[in-house]
Chain A
Amino acid sequence: QSALTQAASVSGSPGQSITISCTGTGSDVGGHNYVSWYQQEPGKAPKLIIYDVSNRPSGVSYRFSGSKSGNTASLTISGLQAEDEADYYCSSYARTGSFVFGTGTTVTVL
């Protein structure tokens, strides 16, 4: 199972919107709606921010939203804030019962 493909870095100014893409195959991202996203601040464990493509857990800011088209899932951060600087990882369930993560994207707030 190959890692899902993400851009290495994305940047934006405060208040802007940015989108992070996560590209897989029909065996993972494109095969179902079990895509999740995680935010990881330096030195900390990842935190779930989106599950099942577009659902936000309780307590996660409405500024985070998710979507999917074909084999590509996307995470959008609207109204970018300094506190959003972190690494972001997508994950997908795979048909074999396993999971696969993305290569990770570093978000920088200019």
Chain B
Amino acid sequence: QVTLKESGPALVKPTQTLTLTCTFSGFSLTTNGMRMSWIRQPPGKALEWLARIDWDDDKYYSASLRTRLTISQDTSKNQVVLTMTNMDPVDTATYYCVRTPRTEYYFDYWGQGTLVTVSS
């Protein structure tokens, strides 16, 4: 059974760095072809893809947020971590951790999401 769960602060101040952790089970990110991404959704708005990390540690980022994002993995803990620097109120959103199955290009399992509010 595949599960994903996001964790991190619910509230961050402007200019701070956000660190979110996705803890997953039921599969291994080291499996050839496996990929994981972070996606966010501001309240009442559309989904936005942020970053992706692959089984071979290749990483890809949203062009508009590239300079602020870092994605990494800890295979021993089955975790994927996203850091976003210089947080702003417009970054207030629900952040989702998602899986892309082997060699595919869609998101088949989603975490429940974690709401992050940016406010002083």
A contacts, CB < 8 Å to B: 1, 3, 34, 36, 38, 45-48, 51-52, 57, 89, 91, 93, 96-104
Contact = CB atoms under 8 A, between A and B. Distances in A.
Contacts, number: 66
B52 A3 contact: no
B106 A36 contact: yes
B47 A89 contact: yes
A36 B107 contact: yes
Interface in B59-79: 60-64
The secondary-structure label for the interface of chain B is loop
Given A45-B113, A96-B63, A57 B49 contact: no
Contacts of A34: 105-106
Q: What band does the interface of chain B fall in when counting residues whose beta carbon is under 8 Å from A?
A: 20 to 34
Contact of B105 (A1, A38, A93, A103): A93
A6 to B, nearest CB: 9
B112 interface: yes
A31 to B, nearest CB: 11
Nearest to B45: A104
A56 B10 CA distance: 35
A48 B104 CA distance: 13
Nearest to A48: B108
Contacts of B58: 97
A101 B49 CA distance: 7
B65 to A, nearest CB: 11
A98 B108 contact: no
B90 interface: no
Contact of B46 (A47, A98, A101): A101
